[in-house]
Structure 1
Amino acid sequence: MKQGVQGSPGKPVAARVPAQARPAADGGPYRERDASVRGEHTHEERPGAGQRATVQRSSVRGQILDALRTALATGELKPGEVHSAPVLGERFGVSATPVREAMQQLALEGAVEVVPNRGFRVVERGARELAELAEVRALLEVPVMLRLARTVPAERWTELRPLAEETVRAAAMGCPAGYAESDRAFHRELLALSGNEQLVRIADDLHRRAQWPPVRHGRADLVADAAEHMALLDALAVGDLDVVRGLMGEHFAGTG
């Protein structure tokens, strides 16, 4: 199986991480690995710069994590494929360490699984697992939204319209990765009105799992999904519980 993250042949999925941001493989003070070969000036961080090195490393890991999430959301990292941290590191222009750390985070999120001595396999979710995720999300979120529809003033729902409009814009662009992020942001803010941080965290984790691998690719599907956000806000604002219940049922059935 071909390894690595690719878009068009020979090109990485995302822009390379800037060279100056590359961390040492052991996580210590930064030193460009191949600079001496190219005749470039090298240097070590002076004592006391450990905090800066830690920030650099965290920043690179975050960039790689974002790039990998985008590749998952767009389907460029396909279910069943196995990818090694060193190979991905070469493609991103960084050491294997931040890639491995990013992949470990994705494993915690259920997007990949560890394959001993080989790397990480992109998870394959069948229709049953996706249906189970949708059912659990509905069990958690629908009762909360029905309660909030009875208690939250209409103007609070109006304040969330910009987030719903952002999902509409992302859908119109036909970008699965952008839509996935805006979709989760919208749902997080809806549930945040409950004041239950644990609920928000658990629901967001389930939502992310339901998005990988991507189920919807077409722009028309994304646009329809985003339109449900706008309709849901309208129903919540007027306290129409039957419409709220029906819209959320349709939304989860479509894994939105």
Structure 2
Amino acid sequence: MKEVAIITGASGGIGYEIALLFAQKKIDILIVARNEKKLENIKSAIEQQYNITVFCVATDLATSEGFVAINNCVTSNNLSVNYLVNNAGFGDYGFFTERSMEKYSEMLGLNIISVTELTYYYAKQMIKNGKGRILNVASTAGIQPDPYFAVYGASKAYVISLTEAIHKEFENTRVTATVLSPGATKTKFMERADMSDAKLYESGVMSAKKVAQVGFDGMMRGSLHVIPGFKNKLLAFFSSIMPSSKLRLNIAAKVMGRNDQ
């Protein structure tokens, strides 16, 4: 069986950069995103430059068909999944009741259900094979409640909690689960989340390439939780030790507010 790494949300940003890191290690990859043309262009470029095999699955992981499409590719090509990177996800910024419930449902399907499903099925295979690495991409937004980013932050809190729990469960299996929690990162995430006027993105935005390297290295070490950037580590630390939940909320609201507030 051909060993591969699955990377979701691989058509740009952190997912694309992680795909390149696998390619540099001569590890075959299965890249997943909604845009088939982008995936095919990436496949062609990576195969030509790195001489590896790239499989493409164009699907919407927010739907029930997403996992089926990936698994069909895995089984039909007789692939063994040694690495899984659950990177696909999106946010939606604004006052909770002024945003779309339809978008919230889509977000939860992608950020929670898809991550759980892919992790469940491929972790089971990894444990059976006696080896594997899983990287679930969360966010510093998942470390505390986030006014104006409530549903996204809650979904990433789930990802953090799930990954930390199974990391412990997998201790004696030779399979590891790592959670990556980036802060503000220069990708198209901000545009899709309608965050162009959020204070959070005024300064200290990290590059997707740097975040990807931190996450990739952490996964390969089998680390539990990796947070890229000194400022993000500091914010996470103070959030974890702050005694007053009301104080945490006030600070988070200030950080997450709009520039005109």
Fold shared, TM-score > 0.5 on shorter chain: no
In the superposition, the TM-score normalised over structure 1's length comes to 0.28
Which entry has the higher C-alpha Rg, 1 or 2? 1
The structure richer in strand per residue is 2
